[in-house]
Amino acid sequence: MPNRMSLIRPLYPIALILAASGLASAPASAAGPIVIGASVSETGPLAVDAGYHLRGLELGVAEANAHGGWLGRQLELKYYDDKSEPGTAVRLYTRLLTDDKVDLLIGPYSSGITQAVAPLANKYQRLMIDPGASLPDIFSEGNHWNIQGVATSTGYLEGMLPLAKEHGAHNVAILSLQSAYSLACGKARQAQADQLGMHVVYTTTYALPQPDFSAMALAVKNANPDVVIACSYYPDSVGLTQALQRIGFAPKFLSETIGPAEAQFTSALGPLSDRVISNTTWWSSLKTPGNAEFIAAYKAKYHEDPDYHSAATYSAIEALGAAVKATNSLDQAKLRDWLFKNTVPTVQGTFKAGAQRGRDGVQAIYVPDPGERP
Amino acid sequence: MLLLQLLVNGILLGGMYLLLAQGLNLVFGVMGVVNLAHGAIVTLAGLFTFWFATTLHENPLIVLPVVLVLVLIVGAFVQRLLLEPLAGAGRKAELLSLMVTFGLSYVLVEGALNLFGSQYVSLPDLQTTWRIGGLAVNEALVASGLLGAALSGALQLWLNRTASGKALLATSQNQIGALSCGIDVRRMRAVAFAIGAALAAAAGVLLILVIPLAAPTADTLTILAFVIVALGGLGDYQGAALAALLLGVVQSFVGYYLGGDAEYVVPYLLLIVFMILRPQGLGKSGRPVWSERR
């Protein structure tokens, strides 16, 4: 029987050739552009939001190139369509890492898809800033290479209850969609209400699509809360607001998470949208460094208004660029460690990957006027 | 008063469900085809209405007659081109028609995604709430419920009181018998599919005023419509009306007392219960889901 060494020996020349050509180890060629890889949901149910996500990335790369690139090299964005499917995204990120050997990674859109691809960053020990994932679970203790690039879902509507309490509110109703992000948000707000000594008079969870919110709205009305908190997405934000109006209940504070900051919310609800208090991770009137320039450049390039998805990806490129320039390197560990130790001013606020290893992300929570648009 | 409000909410919701399901029921009743593109037609019509109302700043209900006529014509063509060739396929026809309508659904949903995007949309029209005694009644729900009832009533009248309607009904009951009586069965199948598609489109025009719609909701609407039709007894029009009302009322009470998650599963739980205890559904002439085609 041949020994193990005799079996391996014929492979030596191949390994030597691979090592010499630089294909056996990851980094792309040093002379060419710095390649940033990502998957984007260009098709499928997430395509609209992911479109903003992609345009923010493209603009971030274009702006960096216009300012001379990084390390004296131009940037190139390499992306594939993940069809809004987590499984496809996993295949694409594997391809970006093993075949395309991109220099840097940006995470995909949505918590669900990011959750699927995040283990790849850990496996290949590659830094991945995730501007499309609010779910905190992704950035847990065991994950050392993903950094959250947007506010965490447990922080959504965090300012609402203290504000309401200041104005004499005591009773709270919390409605949460059956999704990882919404449930985390609902749980956090319930704990916060307890901490503030407020009384949670009604809680429920629901699934989408929900053709009718009137029964839940009636239950909310009967519980008579001062504050209604909905950890919701766009369709349920609209449905719940309509249902509360239909049964004639107007709580002192009606606050919903995702939806009210989007332009369609106002067109869907008309004047009703004025009743809703919400939060967003970015808004046009934020006095953050470069925000006005970002909006102007976005409008000039795409002939539309940016939204918070675009701002999140644009900010991720800003943060990555700051790390690359400061470390003068594309070394993944150096970049990651620099981001954990430093803060970066971005259009959506200060980028801070703090002590909780990525959970801090960007905190830019405030209450916009839904009628005010960029 | 609370119980009465829950009952009224449930009845209005039932009216909306009836509107959603009756087109599917008609197509199944006459052709034995479960139109898997039903929800896609509903959604596409709803999204078109949204586009029309927001682009041209017109009353969305103006779209209704236009959409009805347009979908009637397109529906007849689709039936002739895609489904009629399957009529001679014998026992395979039902399976093949499922595949064809599934493919059609895919094309319509992808078309809707490309034309209108994947975002949920809704219109702020008809959002007035009327107060009757202590009851709150919403204008959009009343409009959709009334229109659902009116269209259902008109369909019943047409089927039972006119020669063409009776011919359609005869075709749905026994195609060989209808053929032997000189009824143009091919034409009747085209008429049924066209009317079924038009009813689906009408539902879409009104649903966009009641709930947010997006291209990806098409499948859920097809499933919901199918559950209502199956609860009523496949092909039974009065049964479908009863099923729609029952579902609306049960959901209203369950949603209030047990919450949103429980409300969501009510249609499917009811379907399981009915399949075990009363597979022929609520109506008198309905067929169980697994029945052989006549």
Chain B CB contacts of A205 under 8 Å are 259-261
Domain span including residue B12: 2-277
What is residue B126's predicted lDDT score, i.e. its pLDDT? 79
Among residues A320, A317, A362, A359, the alpha carbon closest in space to that of A339 is found at A320
Q: Which of B5, B211, B254 to mutate to test the interface with A (most CBs of A within 10 A)?
A: B211
Task: Look at residue B242 and tell me if it is in a domain.
Answer: yes
- Rounded to an integer, the average pLDDT of A266-275 is 82
Q: Which of B1, B2, B137, B263 to mutate to test the interface with A (most CBs of A within 10 A)?
A: B263
Chain A CB contacts of B109 under 8 Å are none
- Residue B288 pLDDT exceeds 70: no
Contacts of B250 (CB under 8 A, 6+ apart): B10, B266, B270
The CATH architecture of the domain made up of A155-278 is 3-Layer(aba) Sandwich (3.40)
Chain A CB contacts of B203 under 8 Å are none
Among residues A34, A149, A11, the alpha carbon closest in space to that of A101 is found at A34
A-B interface: how many C-beta pairs under 8 angstroms?
A: 127
Evaluate whether B45 touches B231 at the Cβ level (below 8 Å).
Answer: no
Three-point CA angle B279, B284, B290, nearest 5° = 30
A320-353 per-residue burial string, b: 16 or more CB within 10 A, e: under 16 = bbbbbeebeebebebbbebbbeeebebbbbbbbb
Q: Could you give the CA distance from residue B62 to residue B77 in angstroms, rounded to a whole number? A: 24
A168-172, A362-366, B124-128: the lowest-pLDDT one: A362-366
A8-17, B86-95, B128-137, B281-290: the lowest-pLDDT one: A8-17
Burial class (CB in 10 A: 0-12, 13-18, 19+), B130: exposed
Q: Could you give the CA distance from residue B265 to residue B259 in angstroms, rounded to a whole number? A: 11
User: Which of A211, A262, A267 is nearest residue B54 as measured by Cβ atoms?
Assistant: A267
Distance from CA of A44 to the nearest CA of B (A): 7
- Rounded to an integer, the average pLDDT of B166-178 is 84
Any chain B CB within 8 A of the CB of A285? no
Name the domain count of chain B: 1
Q: Could you give the CA distance from residue A316 to residue A278 in angstroms, rounded to a whole number? A: 23
Q: Give me the residues paired with residue A231 across strands.
A: A176
Among residues B237, B249, B251, the alpha carbon closest in space to that of B283 is found at B237
Among residues B52, B113, B108, B55, the alpha carbon closest in space to that of A50 is found at B113
User: Which of A215, A222, A271 is nearest residue B263 as measured by Cβ atoms?
Assistant: A215
From residue B174, alpha-carbon distances to B29, B31, B167 in Å are: 10, 10, 10
Task: Look at residue B294 and tell me if it is in a domain.
Answer: no
Interchain contact, A206 vs B136, CB within 8 Å: no
Q: Give me the residues paired with residue A36 across strands.
A: A77, A104
Contacts of A83 (CB under 8 A, 6+ apart): A41, A42, A43, A44
At A241-268, the pLDDT tens digits run 988 988 889 999 999 988 787 777 887 7
Distance from CA of B217 to the nearest CA of A (A): 7
A77-86, B65-74, B174-183, B221-230: the lowest-pLDDT one: B174-183
Any chain B CB within 8 A of the CB of A206? yes
Task: Look at residue B287 and tell me if it is in a domain.
Answer: no
Distance from CA of A94 to the nearest CA of B (A): 27
- pLDDT confidence bin for A19, thresholds 50/70/90: very low
What is residue A334's predicted lDDT score, i.e. its pLDDT? 96
Same fold for the pair A34-151+287-352 and A155-278: yes
ipTM, 2 decimals?
Answer: 0.77
Evaluate whether A40 touches A82 at the Cβ level (below 8 Å).
Answer: yes
Chain A CB contacts of B5 under 8 Å are 218, 247
Give the long-range contacts of residues A336-343, CB within 8 A, separation 24 or more.
A336/A127, A336/A144, A336/A145, A336/A147, A339/A127, A339/A129, A339/A147, A340/A147
- Residue A7 pLDDT exceeds 50: no
> How far is it between the farthest Cα atoms of chain A?
85
Evaluate whether A263 touches B207 at the Cβ level (below 8 Å).
Answer: no
Q: Give me the residues paired with residue A175 across strands.
A: A204, A230
Q: Could you give the CA distance from residue B4 to residue B12 in angstroms, rounded to a whole number? A: 12
Distance from CA of B156 to the nearest CA of A (A): 26
Any chain B CB within 8 A of the CB of A168? no
- pLDDT confidence bin for A149, thresholds 50/70/90: confident
Q: Could you give the CA distance from residue B204 to residue B66 in angstroms, rounded to a whole number? A: 13
Chain B CB contacts of A44 under 8 Å are 113, 118
Q: Could you give the CA distance from residue B142 to residue A34 in angstroms, rounded to a whole number? A: 60
> What's the residue count for chain A?
374
Q: Give me the residues paired with residue A176 across strands.
A: A205, A231
What is residue A356's predicted lDDT score, i.e. its pLDDT? 47
User: Treating both helix axes as pointing N-terminal to C-terminal, what angle do B237-258 and B260-277 enclose, rounded to 10 degrees?
Assistant: 140
**Domain harbouring B63, CATH code:** 1.10.3470
Q: Could you give the CA distance from residue B23 to residue A127 in angstroms, rounded to a whole number? A: 53
Interchain contact, B113 vs A270, CB within 8 Å: no
What is residue B120's predicted lDDT score, i.e. its pLDDT? 80
Interchain contact, B211 vs A175, CB within 8 Å: no
| Sign of the C-alpha dihedral computed for residues B235, B238, B240 and B243 taken in this order | negative
From residue B100, alpha-carbon distances to A117, B194, B284 in Å are: 35, 16, 30
Which superfamily does CATH assign the domain made up of A34-151+287-352 to? Response regulator (3.40.50.2300)
- Omega before B60 within 30 of 0, i.e. cis: no
What is residue B204's predicted lDDT score, i.e. its pLDDT? 93
Task: Look at residue B24 and tell me if it is in a domain.
Answer: yes
Token pair 């009470």 is found at B253
At A43-68, the pLDDT tens digits run 776 777 788 999 999 999 999 999 99
Q: Where are the domains of chain A?
A: 34-151+287-352, 155-278
Evaluate whether A37 touches A105 at the Cβ level (below 8 Å).
Answer: yes
What is residue A1's predicted lDDT score, i.e. its pLDDT? 42
Q: Can you tell me whether residue A49 is helix, strand or coil?
A: helix
Distance from CA of B135 to the nearest CA of A (A): 8
- Residue A205 pLDDT exceeds 60: yes
- Rounded to an integer, the average pLDDT of B146-153 is 81
Among residues B122, B152, B150, B113, the alpha carbon closest in space to that of B241 is found at B152
At A69-87, the pLDDT tens digits run 999 999 999 999 998 889 9
Distance from CA of B186 to the nearest CA of A (A): 36
Q: Which of B118, B129, B249 to mutate to test the interface with A (most CBs of A within 10 A)?
A: B118
Query: Which positions in chain B have a beta carbon within 8 angstroms of at least one beta carbon in chain A?
Result: 2, 5-6, 9, 13, 16, 54, 113, 117-124, 127, 129, 131, 136, 138, 141, 211-212, 214-217, 220, 224, 251-257, 259-261, 263-264
Q: Can you tell me whether residue A202 is helix, strand or coil?
A: strand
Evaluate whether A247 touches A221 at the Cβ level (below 8 Å).
Answer: yes
Chain A CB contacts of B224 under 8 Å are 211
